[in-house]
Structure 1
Amino acid sequence: MKKIQLILSLSLLIQLGIAQDAHYWTEQFGTKSMLLSNSVVGVVEDLGAVYYNPARLALIDNAAFVISGKVYELNKLNVANATGDNAGASQNSSDFGGAPSLVAGTFSIKGWDNHNFAYAFLTRRRMNMNLNGMSDAYGSLIDPLPGDEYFSGELGISKQFTEEWIGGTWSYSKNKRYSVGVTGFVTIRNQESKSTSQLQAYNNEDVATYYNRKSYSFSNYGLLFKIAGAAKYEKLDIGITFTTPTMGLSGSGSFRYEQYFSAIPGSDEIYVRNLQKGVQSTFKTPMSVAVGFGYKLFGGTLMASAEYYTSIDQYNLMQGTEFIGQSNNLSYTPVLYDHLESVTNFGIGYNFVFSERVNGYISYSTDYSASTEENQNLDDNSMYLKASTFTSDINHFGGGIVLNLKKADITLGATLATSSYKMERPIDFPDGNGGSIVDPDEYSKVNWNRWRFIVGISVPFVNDIAKKWENKLTGEDK
């Protein structure tokens, strides 16, 4: 049984290594802003301003309505020596599809000449991670079972979340040099996670089985604000943005726990099952302050940004009620907690002006993990779970061109997010030769790469069309 328990505990290490759930700069908003890897707080020129710096909205000459922006995403994951089957064993996975993008537009209010307004719908963060491992072996693997046995096992980890923001922006500038602005966002966070272990063995007489499942899900609604200022000079643009912590509006979730075990001589059979719904949920986010500048240099613009995020002390995101296992009379209390460290990210980019109608962009930014590295209880009987688990840092690179045509701006480019790190081997099955299942010196190397290919169209004259229709409806064009 000891060997089986080791396999089960190791399966949870997958969760520690793959999920991108503790980063703040993983997404970019606005076509040019994506090419510049978040380095645009002081000089954002598209409707990404509603997120990066609301004050900049009043300084943009032709705020465009984003009518389409296609972003295609390729994720590639490689886990070298993942199962321990042999020195070269690895697991590879990839997927290709659409990526989250910004939908935004501007509008005006009659009589408010120096005031600018916008609305936005954006996917702040998103993740869909699934990793499964399976193996089988034959030999004397489980001590309580006499003789040799057939052994098979399957382990799985999945984690999904989406965080959608819906916002409105107000920005004011009296002289087109200094401006202030505020964006209010309603946030919607949905998250779920599941880990399962299923093992079975047969020795020509008895069949032994083990099944364990832990899962949770929650939904939270909140409200936050971005408060910003900006200044525009002949060669220098600067900006600052404060983001408030999320004020919770409502939230609830559920826990599910199952553990079944039978037919091992001398061991007690286990049946434990519990499902809890309607558990109160509270989701916290940090306060942050971002600063940035853009400086005209060598015929183009050099830009840089940095953003500091405060830490979040350990708290219970959800806590269920205590329950007693049906067969073993053990006490269980499901808890989902989180604990985030403070981090500072920075980005740098450059805008090449090749001609009046052609601009090029290149950039780099950091994306440090805020997840803490405290040890987690990997005991199968524990329901003390951590929400944010990815502790490795990510690097972002971006580049592309923007064609400024008469009737539209067309953006073509690509970005790369990459992370590479070592971790304890996540899955280790018996090899059937009587060897040790766990080698403390063995590691898996994890390589994660996300490519995004951007095709964006912005239409500056949409506001003029809207104004003409407004005049027709009000009779002002007569």
Structure 2
Amino acid sequence: MHCKIAYLKILGVLILLISHFSTAAQDANYWSSAYGPGSFFMPGGVVAYNGDSGVLFVNPALLAYSRNNAASISGTLYQIQQVTIKNGAGTSLDLKSSHGTIVPLMIAHSIPFKLKLPFSLVYAITTRPVLNYSATQRREMTDNVLNDSYSPGDEVFIGQYSLNNSSSETSFILSGGLALSDHWTVGVTLEGLMHKTDYINNAKLRALQNAGSDTILFPPVSSVEAYYQLNAWSVGGRIKGGISYRPNGHHAFGLMITSPLVNLMGSATLLADEEISDLQWIPGIPLNVLASTRQTNLKSKWKMPVSIAAGYTWDFEKGQLYLASEYFGKVDDYNVVTPRNEAFIRPDTAARNTTQMLRFHDARQAVMNFGIGCSFDLKEKIRGYVSLRTDFSYATDNLFGNRDGYKVNVSDINIYHAQIGANLLKKKFNLRAGLLLSYGKSNDYQQVVNFDDPKDSNVLLGTPGKTSATTFTVAALVSYLYNF
């Protein structure tokens, strides 16, 4: 009976420790890609109609209007993205991630067919860097951290925290668009999507005990360490259907429905290590705990909800106005990776709690985004583009039944994007270049640790509260299309 009570106490401490590191950047948004329905700068960013010769459209029905045998490559010449969590680990201890990248985003080839009804086929590969977040923080101070019953006076405290979360998506696309009449076109897209995640969450917290004698060269150390690493990939498929209607030469309407992602295969490797040494969480009862595991060949799956997009295009004398919106459905709490129910707490016990404690999970609320854009003639062969779009976050803690395990995303920031650029039209090619600016802020970011008030009663993690987080992106974009 006493062993059972002790085990439950240890289990309670580990759940408290792990739940603190269940973090909630730009990894929880659907419209960050330059190829979403709200973006009109890059080829393929519309739902209703587009007068240029882009070879990959979000709505596959628009492919019927593209009658050129053409190949294109589009990408980011250079992108700087910064995510800052103000006081993320305590007062004046910001968690800041900043990096620059050069990313090829799309390679596509369109082939028109001379059939009774106009038909075009496109195959493409797209890459979307969802997030590349890496931040560290440290605090060293002297304060009354441990209970005076076993360490009287102030102690030297050292706290370190690091978080690395990198995820990306690669899509293999086959699209076809068919013109049923002068006013109606339809299209279908088959997409195979690979999602990859590399996640590391690590905290080391130490307090040097006061042994009551200056003659002790190496005083005892109360320490807490939590390490969690996951490397996962998954492959899924989905289908997209679209229609476009042009009642006359000045107006066009479009509708597109994308199915949920169907998981096909996936694998993950998990490494976790939790250690508590010589810490009196309950006064008078020293706590020493070791929990450790490594699991390979775990199943991994990734979910994307059903989405419905609608668009409208209005032709005016020297350009076009675009409106688009897209609704994304809800995804209930599910495990991206479910660990096997193997031994975790050491020495080994009869109870198995690995599955719930170390799961890697996700949940999404329903969101709707809106975009507006305009293209206009600058010169005879040069057309300008400008667009604005929302990029609301689908992440919210309200969707999770409990905080056990680790969540996929880093934060939950609503982002707003602005793009501006120009297209140079020649007989054999189109060259399009422009600039992307993105900004978002949240005042409801939940701290993971707070080094302001570490105590043995809170397992040296402090008392996490709410703070603010911002994200800012600047990117130079380019697209080259060659007509054979």
Measure how far apart 1:136 and its partner are: 0.7
The 1:347–1:208 alpha-carbon spacing in structure 2 relative to 1, beyond 3 Å, is same
Instruction: Please point out which of 183, 186, 194 is paired with 2:189.
Output: 183
The 1:369–1:310 alpha-carbon spacing in structure 2 relative to 1, beyond 3 Å, is same
TM-score, normalising length from structure 1? Answer: 0.83
Instruction: Give, as a single letter, the amino acid of the residue that structure 1 aligns with 2:416.
Output: N
The 1:47–1:317 alpha-carbon spacing in structure 2 relative to 1, beyond 3 Å, is farther
The unaligned stretches of length 5 or more in structure 1 are 463-478
Name the residue aligned to 2:468. Answer: 445
C-alpha distance in 2 between matches for 1:314 and 1:165: 24
What do the CA deviations read for 1:74-117 (whole angstroms, capped 9, x no partner)?
A: 1123333334345xx54544222213511101125676773211
What do the CA deviations read for 1:238-265 (whole angstroms, capped 9, x no partner)?
A: 2221111112211222332211222447
Bigger shift: residues 210-219 or 164-173: 210-219
Instruction: Please point out which of 260, 263, 273 is paired with 2:275.
Output: 260
Name the residue aligned to 1:12. Answer: 21
What do the CA deviations read for 1:215-252 (whole angstroms, capped 9, x no partner)?
A: 33322111111111123331112222111111221122
Instruction: Give, as a single letter, the amino acid of the residue that structure 2 aligns with 1:428.
Output: N
Name the residue aligned to 2:244. Answer: 230
SS at match of 1:22: coil
C-alpha distance in 2 between matches for 1:91 and 1:80: 7
Matched, 1:308 2:327: yes
C-alpha distance in 1 between matches for 2:37 and 2:69: 13
The 1:67–1:377 alpha-carbon spacing in structure 2 relative to 1, beyond 3 Å, is closer
C-alpha distance in 1 between matches for 2:409 and 2:454: 36
C-alpha distance in 1 between matches for 2:193 and 2:53: 19
Name the residue aligned to 1:205. Answer: 219
Name the residue aligned to 1:216. Answer: 230
Name the residue aligned to 2:6. Answer: none
The unaligned stretches of length 5 or more in structure 2 are 1-12, 210-217
C-alpha distance in 2 between matches for 1:169 and 1:251: 25
Instruction: Please point out which of 376, 399, 424 is paired with 1:352.
Output: 376
Name the residue aligned to 1:132. Answer: 136
The 1:213–1:107 alpha-carbon spacing in structure 2 relative to 1, beyond 3 Å, is same
1:159-174 to 2 correspondences below 5 Å:
159-173=165-179
Number of residue pairs the alignment of both structures matches? 450
Instruction: Please point out which of 136, 158, 165 is paired with 2:164.
Output: 158
SS at match of 2:286: coil
8 Å contact from structure 1 (residues 23, 367) kept in 2: yes
SS at match of 2:274: strand
Instruction: Give, as a single letter, the amino acid of the residue that structure 1 aligns with 2:134.
Output: N
CA RMSD between the two structures: 3.5
The 1:48–1:407 alpha-carbon spacing in structure 2 relative to 1, beyond 3 Å, is closer
Measure how far apart 1:31 and its partner are: 13
C-alpha distance in 2 between matches for 1:377 and 1:198: 28
8 Å contact from structure 2 (residues 97, 133) kept in 1: no
TM-score, normalising length from structure 2? Answer: 0.82
Instruction: Please point out which of 420, 434, 439 is paired with 1:418.
Output: 439
8 Å contact from structure 2 (residues 221, 278) kept in 1: yes
State the percentage of identical aligned residues.
Answer: 23
Instruction: Give, as a single letter, the amino acid of the residue that structure 1 aligns with 2:378.
Output: F
1:7-406 to 2 correspondences below 5 Å:
12=21, 15-16=23-24, 18=25, 20-29=26-35, 33=39, 35=41, 40-45=46-51, 50-62=56-68, 64-67=70-73, 69-86=75-92, 90-108=94-112, 114-124=118-128, 126-143=130-147, 144-173=150-179, 175-203=181-209, 204-232=218-246, 233-264=248-279, 266-297=285-316, 299-324=318-343, 325-327=345-347, 329=349, 331-334=352-355, 335-374=359-398, 382=404, 384-388=405-409, 390-406=411-427
